[in-house]
Structure 1
Amino acid sequence: MSSRRRARRFTAVTGSLVAAAFSAALVLPCTAAADDQGPAGGSGKGGKAVDRAPAGVRLTTTLPAKISVDNSSGKTAITATVKNGGTRRSDGIRLLVVGFGGLKVNAVRGCDAVAAKDRPAGSNSAFSCPVGPLGAGRSASYAVDATFDLGGSGKICLPVQSADGKKTFWQQGPVPFGTTNPSPNAPATPLLLGTDNQPVGPGGDQLPKTGAGRDVLPLGAVGAALIAAGAAGVRWSQRRPRRPS
């Protein structure tokens, strides 16, 4: 076997091994570790302490920095997390999940709906989650089912209160979810925490236009343009100098 043929065979075998290794890497399982620190990518944006918590207790909340809204149904999923970042266990507490404007909270797993007369002023929905005592460094997360009207702005609020509701130790929001670049023609629109939503403008439900951004030409104009292009092509071919045989 010549050296050139051996080199080609070695290159082919090496390429096959690299491709096989890459494919194997894609199907390797990922091991998820539960650290009780709440979901990754959570943000405490728009949060502030209100009433003083007991000594050694530091209660905060987080929301996802980004959510995705289904453009056809308006449905979205949010994870609301409360955490005790202090050094001592808290007394019994509760977490409220409150919706405003275009964001309506439909359900929160493990929580009870708050009657309209007991909701915070200006809200359209609210749920109360009985967290109970929360140990130091521990967190509790709640799955929130909501709808978002992309034609307006929507906000969410997470107050953390004592079990009797007399004290509010922490409150995140009302903080908006929104986008300045709506995607009416995509299956879903991503919304960012702390961003005021810019509703889709008139005609946003139309399919996007392709090409140079011009409207489709009328059929007569298209026919005339094709005929003119054909005539120009014939004249150009006639003017071309013939190559000597």
Structure 2
Amino acid sequence: MSSHRMAAVAGSLVAASFSAVVALGPPAAAQGPEPGSDKGGKAVDQAPAGVRLTTLLPERISVDNGSGKTTITATVKNDGTRESGGIRLLLVGFGGLTVKNVPGCSRIAEGDLPEGSHSGFSCPIDNLAAGASKSYTADAVFALDRTGKICLPVQASDGSKTFWQQGPVPFGTTNPSPNAPATPLLLGTDNAPVAPDGGELPRTGAPGRDVLPLGAAGAALLAAGAAGLWWSRRRPGPRQG
């Protein structure tokens, strides 16, 4: 992805309109640690003094074998000693994992998604107090005959910096349950789908998911099969509305 396109992505995310359609319950704010894992996460740009932002994903999700429907709770935390100020959490799907809706968040237009992604939402957060966390429950669909990944960047509200990014990290199983009502998928596991008759289905995505080090300019793109790791330091154009 060119630097010009990455800047366009950051700018358009801020201006995207809200489109929460399915009511899964409002985002929940909570104090203290939340259950989950920060597996696959790393700090990117330096956060303001006293602010330490991270994210959590569930260690396990359950996918309905008939519909492919699932829910994923994404949590952003401020483990620092000072409030965060305005930030935003992005939930972006890759491969077999499609993010369908995140109540309280705005859908990222298809043309503004990072390379390799097909779905995503941007969740604005006015401020996150020191020691506080905020969770969003995403309505998603997982195609069990494919590999799937999710990415959670935490950015400044204008998209100029990415303080933390978890992923793209896979959900999957090495022991599929095609005849059960649902299949449990584990965080950080590459999916090895098996057809109902026991035959192996072709895997999608390249083996391995190496994470590239940060570039000197502070912008990078990681191609891990169909997934990408992206962020942008460039400040987008003036915000609209």
Fold match by TM threshold 0.5:
yes
Shift of 1:36: 2.2
The equivalent position to 1:37 in structure 2, one of 29, 32, 35, is 32
Whether the 8 Å CA contact 2:30–2:132 is kept in 1: the answer is no
Query: Aligned AA for 1:36?
Result: Q
Whether the 8 Å CA contact 2:144–2:193 is kept in 1: the answer is yes
* 1:107-145 deviations in Å (ceiling 9; x for gaps): 011101001121111001010000121110000100100
Shift of 1:57: 0.2
Structure possessing the higher relative contact order (Cα contacts under 8 Å, 6 or more residues apart): 2
Query: Aligned AA for 2:110?
Result: A
* 1:82-115 deviations in Å (ceiling 9; x for gaps): 0000000112000000000000000011101001
Query: Aligned AA for 2:31?
Result: D
Aligned partner of residue 43 in structure 1, secondary structure: coil
Question: Cα RMSD (Å) of the superposition?
Answer: 1.5
Query: Aligned AA for 1:199?
Result: P
- The CA distance in 1 between the partners of 2:34 and 2:64, in whole Å, is 21
- Cα distance change on mapping 1:35 and 1:141 into 2, 3 Å: closer
The equivalent position to 2:167 in structure 1, one of 142, 158, 173, is 173
The equivalent position to 2:148 in structure 1, one of 154, 166, 169, is 154
After TM superposition, which residue ranges in structure 1, 4 or more long, deviate above 2 angstroms?
34-40
The equivalent position to 1:117 in structure 2, one of 108, 111, 116, is 111
1:129 correspondence with 2:123: yes
1:138 correspondence with 2:127: no
Aligned partner of residue 64 in structure 1, secondary structure: coil
TM-score, normalization by structure 2: 0.69
Query: Aligned AA for 1:183?
Result: S
Counterpart residue number, 2:74? 80
Whether the 8 Å CA contact 1:100–1:124 is kept in 2: the answer is yes
Superposed, 1:205-220 pairs within 5 Å as none
Q: Percent identity?
A: 71
Superposed, 1:13-24 pairs within 5 Å as none
Aligned partner of residue 145 in structure 1, secondary structure: strand
Determine which structure has the larger helix proportion and give its number.
1
Counterpart residue number, 1:93? 87
The runs of 5 or more residues in structure 2 that have no matched partner are 1-28, 200-241
* 1:144-197 deviations in Å (ceiling 9; x for gaps): 000000001000000000000110000000000000000000000000000000
Query: Aligned AA for 1:102?
Result: G
Counterpart residue number, 1:210? none
Whether the 8 Å CA contact 1:154–1:176 is kept in 2: the answer is yes
- The CA distance in 2 between the partners of 1:104 and 1:204, in whole Å, is 25
Whether the 8 Å CA contact 1:38–1:81 is kept in 2: the answer is no
Shift of 1:37: 3.1
Shift of 1:38: 5.5
Whether the 8 Å CA contact 1:159–1:172 is kept in 2: the answer is yes
Counterpart residue number, 1:59? 53
- The CA distance in 2 between the partners of 1:201 and 1:145, in whole Å, is 25
Whether the 8 Å CA contact 1:85–1:137 is kept in 2: the answer is yes
Shift of 1:39: 3.9
Whether the 8 Å CA contact 1:88–1:135 is kept in 2: the answer is yes
